[in-house]
Amino acid sequence: MMLLTIIGTLLLTSDDVYSSGQKNYVVINPREQGCFAVLGYNRNRGVHILNLQRNNGRSTCMIMGIAAHEMLHILGFAHEQTRPDRDQFVQIYWSRIKRDSISNYFRAIDINARERPPVCNPKSTQTSFDNCYSGFKTSTFGLEYDYGSIMHYGLDDFTTTGQDTMRVLRPVPTGIVIGNRKGMTKLDALKVKARYGCNEGPGAKTTRKPSVGK
């Protein structure tokens, strides 16, 4: 996909930013520790940081799937396990999650929701965050939950106990990897197209409509 091609060929640092006179742009920075990005475009932010840590001998973010995951954050896509309907698909084990990462599991609410639960407070002493929300509203675009999404965490990510931090509640199709960082799924691509009204790129040929969930 074009998104992956761009990420694979572009590396900007704070010393050689090329913004073409734009007031808002993304800087891909390899110098800080960790893989992270701001969530969503903000016209008042100016520089939108996407950090991809270089290989330090122990870990690296210089992996295509990780880069795509972080770029999708900047495009406004949160983690799959935070969808408004996620409780139908995964159970969160709050007590097993590292406290400084627990907000990555807070559920969003639907953009058309009439009622708002309280906003989750990651600094609170509560042991469950099932009845609060992240403070964000989102849309599923009518697309099904994607266990294989490049935006979905692995089942044992950020564990403090060595045990899984999530449990699946539905059968997972054979071949689906939960926590996939190899590439975007068909559903990932459909979400981007739904949000931005994207057409196929130059040279792309489509002979039939994509089938969802197969």
Catalytic residue among 70, 80, 144, 200: 70
CA distance readout (Å), 103 to 22, 92, 132, 158, 182: 32, 12, 11, 11, 24
Please write down the HEC assignment for all residues of the chain.
Answer: CHHHHHHHHCCCCCCCCCCCCCCCEEEEECCCCCEEECCCCCCCCCEEEEEECCCCCCCCCCCHHHHHHHHHHHCCCCCHHHCCCHHHCEEECHHHECHHHHHHHCCCEECCCCCCCCECCCCCCCCCCCCCECCCEECCCCCCCCCCCCCCCCCCCCECCCCCCEEECCCCCCCCCCCCCCCCCHHHHHHHHHHHCCCCCCCCCCCCCCCCCC
User: Does 152 belong to an annotated binding site?
Assistant: no
User: Does 79 belong to an annotated binding site?
Assistant: yes
CA distance readout (Å), 196 to 61, 103, 190, 192, 208: 26, 26, 10, 6, 21
User: Does 48 belong to an annotated binding site?
Assistant: no
Query: Is 70 tagged catalytic?
Result: yes
Annotated binding site for Zn(2+), which residues?
69, 73, 79
Q: Catalogue the active-site residues.
A: 70
Tell me the binding residues. 69, 73, 79
